[in-house]
Amino acid sequence: MNAKILSLLPGGDCFGRGGCGKATCAECAEAIAAGESVALCPACDQAAVDAIAEALGRETEEAKDFVAFVACSGNAAGKERFAGCKSCEEAVEMGFVKGDCRDGCVGCGSCVAFCKFGAMKMADGDVIIDTEKCNGCGACAAAGACVQGIIRMVPRDATNFIPCSNTMEDDEEVRKTCGFGCIACSDCVRACPEGAVEIINNHAVIDYDKCVGCVACTVKCKKKIIVDTMHDLTKLKEKVAFVKCSGFNEHAYKEAGFTSCAEAAAKADPKAMGICTTGCTGQGDCVKVCRYGAIEVVNGSAQVNPDKCVGCKDCYYACPKNLIEMVPYKGAKMVPCSSTADYEDKAAVCGSACIACEDCVSNCPNGAIHMEEAHAVIDPELCENCQVCQYMCQRGIIQEREVPEYNYLQRAALGMREGE
């Protein structure tokens, strides 16, 4: 009988690291024959479990349908330095330096050797798992296979994943280290109506026994790192980035030899250069950090495509001049100017600057506009899109963005928590 059961197992022995807890498939078959679960082998599909149960004359059980998942999607773990290492163990022993993620995948592929079914491969320093080939044996996730301990087994039908294992407490350090890092803000925890998300060692973890795939965590994630395979992430958002400048300073900074916004902001003297002192430098630091291709420099100023933006705020933190703010995705009036100069100075260097005439302020029927350091600011919470400010603006610079059909997929998810 043991031979019959053994023939129904996928084989491979899984290096004695499989989820069955046995050293070999033969031992697994023996344990099943002796009375342990007919679904003891996690690599067996339902057909195999049914066949084992029939051979033993026992009732069948539900197969354990899991796949491997690498809880890391970044490239900040020192992978370039570790490129010459022969194993992940060697890379970790080499040690980490400031700027490395100490908890992420080091990219040397030691885990690949533990897969007997060809479901894992390396591509550009990342571990790629073929979920069609992965049978959920668990060998790669067992102790010792991944020196970082970041491979986990998740239900094959799961739709939400958090690809981060960060343990750093300082969220600013996390942002600097990895654009995909969880900052443990707990917004996902509070949003989940099922109590399926918790913070463990400074990163969010989903309990798949409770998760119903409602997308609430995806919507509320500040960094937008939660992977949702069922919905378009660009639709699941409440706010998007907006650049408070529409000037044309790019060429001046380039001609001065600057290659980054950070360098230009720290070293340039825009007043001496005859350009706006507060405007966008146009060197694209925000473009470089955007994971969704939502920002581009147009006519010397960064512009955000709200349909592509997911509201992760990476650009917000990358801008050294604090020109990027988060505004409602559903459409709003916006003033693309942050100039603090007086009328004559700003009018001389920029044709699209707010000249602080206050016509918009005095004519807004909702009191939604106020002056802040010589430029108008619109409060989206008070604005009712009446268009009076646009009509009254002498320079015609107030912008209106309308989303054709504001996708409230998140309403269905967050409606469960209405009133909170």
Between 403 and 298, the more confident residue is 298
Mean pLDDT of 344-358: 86
pLDDT in tens, 240-278: 999 999 877 667 888 888 989 999 999 999 888 888 889
Asked if residue 360 has pLDDT above 90, the reply is: yes
Q: What is the pLDDT of residue 76?
A: 63
Pairing of strands 160-161, 120-123: unpaired
Q: How far apart are CA 18 and CA 253, in angstroms?
A: 58
> For residue 176, which phi and psi values (nearest 5 degrees)?
-70, -35
Local confidence band at 405 (pLDDT 50, 70, 90 cut-offs): very low
What are the contacts of 298-305 at 24+ separation with CB within 8 A?
299/248, 299/250, 300/247, 300/248, 300/249, 300/250, 300/251, 301/243, 301/245, 301/246, 301/247, 301/248, 301/249, 301/250, 302/243, 302/245, 303/243, 304/240, 304/241, 304/242, 304/243
Q: How far apart are CA 244 and CA 68, in angstroms?
A: 44
Taken in order of first residue, the domains within the chain and their CATH numbers are 2-56 (1.10.15), 66-228 (3.30.70.20), 235-329 (3.30.70.20), 332-401 (3.30.70.20)
Q: How far apart are CA 185 and CA 315, in angstroms?
A: 18
Q: What is the pLDDT of residue 39?
A: 92
Local confidence band at 410 (pLDDT 50, 70, 90 cut-offs): very low
Asked if residue 230 has pLDDT above 80, the reply is: no
pLDDT in tens, 92-142: 999 888 888 899 999 898 999 889 899 999 887 788 999 999 999 998 998
Nearest 10 degrees: Cα torsion 408, 413, 414, 418: 110
Share of the chain above pLDDT 70, in %: 92
Local confidence band at 416 (pLDDT 50, 70, 90 cut-offs): very low
| Contacts of residue 284, Cβ cutoff 8 Å, sequence gap at least 6 | 261, 295, 297, 302
Q: How far apart are CA 281 and CA 170, in angstroms?
A: 29
pLDDT in tens, 307-349: 888 888 889 999 999 999 998 887 678 899 999 988 888 888 8
Local confidence band at 409 (pLDDT 50, 70, 90 cut-offs): very low
Strand partners, 400: 333
